[in-house]
């Protein structure tokens, strides 16, 4: 596989962009090679600057539920673009997508649009503190909620990949208000709450973790969190930036039948364009300016092009009963095939999958939290990643990121992936 153009672009980029990339995990540093520079994408495929074709299991880190360059979404963008790119004023599209989100997501009565998942989580925490009058929050080790100061304490995703989960630049006075619990360990929550009685404003959690690899909640874990929050006057925040509309039309909270107080969204609601949102109970959301005293603003929030793409995406999701069934069938086909190959070759492994999110861990342990995720053999993952890439399969370049399947992935794509998978695994 020739990568001359990508290599040259990366060399040039490092002169002008820190590390040569605008988001750390894109650097491919943890898998020992230069990143590929992508020139186009369509359906289940992406193409790099050298013309190499790949079956894509990154999907722009999740939002491409329907596949790349979906014609209806592109048409919606084109129609809207003709009327202008940004107004800094209300539009009808904002109202339409807000109404649709409240219909689809069980717990959201009102929603505020922002520009990224980081903005959404940061704002949700501010709102929870204002509503409760308390300052401390609980997050879970290895969960990633964006790069706001509050969250970069034992964070997952790129921070975990590069071994720097506690970022420099965060004052101790900020860090002291973030308390870390263990995902899937309700006892760790009980201990923290008891030790900080009456001081916890919010618990924020990825209901299905995607940022230390795909890790599902254990039975009753989310329900127990809900109960603790009810008993202690704590706001429960589901970070569904990744899981929202991916695991079900109503997100993970529909799948697990647990209603949080606030939900953060992103990825899919932009149809591939930059967007985020947070929403929840009306009594909490109405604290936001201009209704209330909690300030949050953004010139590009509710950008018409992003709203057009997102509304089209959610309209397709809401009007089709087959989407999640097809995603489950394709995802199950891949998981079953991978299990057969790994078992036949006798390697130690664990595949975690929830719907169309999945991760292969190279470990003999069940992976259910930060510590067990770290038990995975990252050297084996590097060999696996590179073996798949050389065979035309594009995976997340980190052991600690979930992979995604889209509606555009065909049964033939899955079979081609499994052929490449067996060849790559044999080389490890």
Arithmetic mean of pLDDT, 62-77: 97
Domain boundary residue among 283, 303, 319? 319
Averaged over 289-296, what is the pLDDT? 96
pLDDT per residue over 15-26, tens digit each?
Answer: 999 999 999 989
Please, which residues bridge with residue 41 across strands? Answer: 46
5 is catalytic: no
pLDDT of residue 169: 80
Q: Give the separation between CA 98 and CA 130, rounded to whole angstroms.
A: 23
Lowest mean pLDDT among 159-168, 209-218, 302-311, 321-330: 159-168
Same domain, 235 and 223: yes
What is the sign, positive or negative, of the torsion defined by CA atoms of 390, 393, 398, 400? negative
Domain termination site, one of 287, 319, 351: 319
38 φ/ψ angles, rounded to the nearest 5 degrees: -90, 135
Higher-scoring residue by pLDDT: 346, 205: 205
- pLDDT of residue 104 exceeding 80, the answer is yes
Whether 311 sits among the annotated catalytic residues: the reply is no
Same domain? For 410 and 263 the reply is: no
Give the CATH number of the domain where residue 353 resides: 3.90.1150.10
Is 267 noted as a catalytic residue in this protein? yes
Q: How many domains does the chain have?
A: 2
Q: Is 92 helix (H, G, I), strand (E, B) or coil?
A: helix
User: Do 277 and 338 belong together in one domain?
Assistant: no
Domain that holds residue 41: 4-69+321-426
Q: Are residues 81 and 163 in the same domain?
A: yes
Contacts 24+ apart (CB under 8 A), 254-259: 254/105, 254/106, 255/354, 255/355, 256/207, 256/217, 256/222, 258/207, 258/222, 258/223, 258/225, 258/226, 259/106, 259/107, 259/226
Whether 297 and 406 map to the same domain: the answer is no
* 214, pLDDT greater than 70: yes
Q: How far, in Å, CA of 234 to CA of 125, rounded?
A: 11
Residues 256 and 359 in one domain: no
**pLDDT at 245 > cutoff 90:** yes
Q: Is the pLDDT of residue 154 over 70?
A: no
| Confidence bin at 165 (pLDDT 50/70/90) | very low
Q: Are residues 203 and 146 in the same domain?
A: yes
Alpha helical stretches, state H, 321-400: 323-345, 370-373, 378-390
Q: Which residue out of 267, 350, 380, 383 is catalytically annotated?
A: 267
Q: CB–CB of 285/112 below 8 Å?
A: yes
Helix axes 186-195, 221-232, angle to 10 degrees: 20
- What average pLDDT does range 120-148 have in this prediction? 95
Query: pLDDT band for position 425 (50/70/90)?
Result: very high
Same domain membership, residue 232 and residue 213: yes
Same domain for 97 and 44: no
SS3 state of residue 6: helix
Please indicate, yes or no, whether residues 127 and 149 belong to a single structural domain of this protein: yes
HEC assignment per residue over 97-114? HHHHHHHHCCCCCEEEEE
Choosing from 48, 239, 261, 377, the catalytic residue is 239
Last residue of a domain, one of 319, 353, 382: 319
**In contact, 207 and 252? CB cutoff 8 Å:** yes
CATH code of the domain containing 307: 3.40.640.10
Exactly one of 57, 144, 311, 349 is catalytic; which is it? 144
User: Does the bond joining 316 to the residue before it have cis omega, within 30 degrees of 0?
Assistant: no
Alpha carbon 61 to chain centroid distance? 7
Residues 240, 281: one domain? Answer: yes
Asked if residue 346 and residue 259 are part of one domain, the reply reads no
Q: Please tell me which residue, 235 or 166, carries the higher pLDDT value.
A: 235
- Residue 167 has a pLDDT of 66
Q: At 238, list the tokens.
A: 């589901």
166 pLDDT band, cuts 50/70/90, is low
């Amino acid at each position: 596989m020739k990568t001359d153009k990508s290599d040259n672009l990366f060399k040039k980029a490092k002169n002008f962009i820190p590390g040569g990339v605008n988001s750390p995990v894109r650097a491919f540093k943890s898998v020992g090679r230069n990143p590929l520079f992508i020139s186009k994408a369509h359906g289940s495929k992406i193409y790099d600057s050298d013309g190499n074709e790949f079956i894509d299991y990154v999907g722009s880190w999740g939002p491409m539920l329907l596949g790349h360059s979906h014609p209806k979404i592109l048409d919606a963008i084109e129609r809207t673009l003709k009327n202008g790119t940004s107004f800094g004023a209300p539009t009808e599209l904002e109202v339409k997508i807000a109404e649709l989100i409240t219909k689809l997501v069980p717990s959201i009565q009102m929603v505020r649009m922002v520009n990224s998942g980081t903005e959404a989580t940061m704002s949700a925490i501010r709102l929870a503190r204002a509503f409760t009058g308390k300052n401390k929050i609980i997050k879970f080790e290895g969960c990633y909620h964006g790069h706001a100061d509050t969250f970069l304490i034992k964070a997952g995703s790129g921070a975990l990949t590069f071994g720097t989960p506690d970022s420099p630049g965060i004052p101790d006075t900020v860090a002291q208000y973030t308390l870390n619990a263990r995902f899937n360990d309700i006892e760790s929550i009980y201990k923290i709450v008891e030790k900080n009685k009456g001081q916890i404003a919010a618990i924020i959690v990825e209901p299905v973790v995607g940022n230390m690899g795909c890790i599902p909640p254990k039975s009753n874990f989310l329900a127990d969190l809900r109960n603790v929050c009810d008993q202690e006057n704590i706001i429960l925040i589901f970070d569904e930036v990744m899981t929202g509309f991916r695991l079900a039309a109503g997100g993970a909270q529909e799948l697990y039948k647990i209603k949080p107080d606030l939900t953060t969204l992103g990825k899919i609601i932009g149809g591939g364009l930059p967007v985020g949102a947070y929403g929840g109970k009306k009594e909490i959301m109405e604290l936001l300016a201009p209704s209330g005293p909690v300030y949050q603003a953004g010139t590009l929030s509710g950008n018409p092009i992003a709203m057009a793409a997102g509304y089209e995406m959610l309209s397709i999701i809401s009007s089709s009963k087959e989407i999640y069934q097809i995603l489950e069938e394709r995802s199950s086909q891949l998981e079953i095939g991978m299990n057969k190959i790994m078992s036949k070759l006798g390697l130690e492994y664990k595949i975690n999958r929830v719907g169309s999110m999945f991760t292969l861990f190279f470990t003999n342990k069940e992976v259910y939290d930060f510590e067990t995720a770290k038990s995975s053999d990252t050297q084996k993952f590097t060999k696996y990643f590179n073996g798949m890439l050389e065979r035309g399969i594009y995976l997340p370049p980190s052991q600690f990121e979930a992979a995604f399947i889209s509606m555009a992935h065909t049964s033939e794509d899955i079979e081609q992936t499994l052929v490449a998978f067996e060849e790559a695994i044999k080389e490890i």
